[in-house]
Amino acid sequence: MRGFPKKLLGAAGAVAIAAAPGAGQTLFMWPDTAVDVSKYTTVEECAAAIGRVHRIVTAQQLQATGAWRDTMPFDPAERMQPRPLQVTETARRCMQRFAAADTMPIEAYRFLVPLYLSAGWDDRARTLVDRRLAVTKPNDDAALLAVIDTIANLYSVVAEPPRHDLLWEILWEQAARVSDRVTRFKVLARLLRWTTDLPEADLLREQQTVLRVVALFDSLTVRERARFLEDASSPFPPHSNVDVLRERLHALLEAEYGKEVLLDSLRRSTAAFGRLKRMTWARATGLPPDSYREPIGMRAPALEGEIWLGCGTQCGTRPTLGRVALVVFVSHGDCVGAVTSPGDVASQGNCARALIPLRRLQEQFPQLEITIAARTRGFFGYLKEGITEQQEAELTRRWLDSFGLERAVLIMSSTPYWRLPAPDSRRIESSTANQDAYSFGGTWPVTDRLAFLIDQDGMIVRSLPMARENARELAELIEILLERERAGT
């Protein structure tokens, strides 16, 4: 049997396709996959839905900008931006069945408070917090402080964006209700930790907190101060309370004296800068000025090392007298890796977080002398067996160059170590001579990525972790030191 002519068959097929477009579209139409989050029945499902929407919207915003965000300068105000409207609406729709804050189980407040804040339900979040504080046993200071720590974490760390304004109100009220003066000081000390993140419009709140903390500490008896300082439950782990107050001192100075007063003292001299810090430290803590540990005004020790790379035949004493210098302790063994994304928790401790801001300072201040104080680790990446100290130093040099730090001088010190007996055989390291020298008798432990800013007279001006959130402060101080250098010339 013969088939249809090809021309006729083709025409018939064309008519058939043209005649029934609707049928074809209906047959191949994608099913409706929209999710109705209002039908979710658990808090965990709502938390997951809010997180999904937040990640999707954030990814869309990043794609729209076309910027590689993890190498951009850190902007503290960026984290304070409100959540996208899509995230807030998702939270409100999903949380409707859990919206009765006055009847929800109190033990669920740790999960519900951040979700309420995401939905814009600040009053309901406060209702849950007040209910939780109300059931704390009277005179149980440890329990009260534990609850306050949890609340502070919910409002300042878990919540996006952080709600330091609401946290300030809660802790300010709680401090007024505590009868024991030492416990009240601990509550205020926790409050002091978060006031630096208040918007500039809330500077008055910060000043109120600072003055109240200073006044209360000045009024404590010797026994009460000893009880506070010796208490193992530090409000700012992992450091002691004294160390935390020292870290907070910079904000205290800005709140009490104004930032320009602090910077003006450095314009005069590093000694004046150190005296102002120690004076405020003594007033804030009631401790002797000499108990302030940061080695401001102390002479920076000369660095030692078996291998010097990056200085050619001009290797002299580092830091160099007559130049503004930055000494940064970096160990490749603690932080080799790649930065993935700004929100990647695994990459937060990566050395890129220190080396990228350091490269920016190098570019901003060509006159700045930068020295990397490194130590041998017996390996580099996956290279372990048979690697020499020279090879390790050269690989470290190439690693630093990959971050654009070609102008920095690398000083590699041989790390003293011993090994556990076989079959363990692990390498147990001791501190290097440079680490010991810059710890100033153990009063200022040197950790990796710790930076020392040194003036042209060889005196230490500031010591703090090399990180993008500290780069702005370092840049201000470096500019002043360079102004002093030019004025002296």
Which domains, ranges and CATH numbers included, belong to the chain?
307-337+348-416+430-488 (3.40.30.10)
Predicted pLDDT of residue 255 = 56
Which stretch of DSSP H or E encloses residue 464? Answer: strand 460-465
Within 8 A by CB and 6+ apart from 338, the residues are 347, 350, 352
Q: What is the distance between the alpha carbons of residues 168 and 188, in angstroms, rounded to a whole number?
A: 10
Task: Read off the tokens for 300.
Answer: 């920076």
Q: What average pLDDT values come out for the chain (489 residues) when binned by 10 residues?
A: 42 43 55 72 89 85 71 67 86 90 90 92 93 86 86 86 85 82 80 60 63 67 72 41 49 60 87 85 69 89 94 86 95 61 43 89 95 92 86 92 92 91 87 94 86 96 88 93 82
Indicate the DSSP class of residue 155: I
Burial 61-80, CB ≥16 within 10 A → b, else e: eeeeeeeeebeeebeeeeee
Predicted pLDDT of residue 433 = 94
Predicted pLDDT of residue 127 = 94
Task: Read off the tokens for 189.
Answer: 């000390």
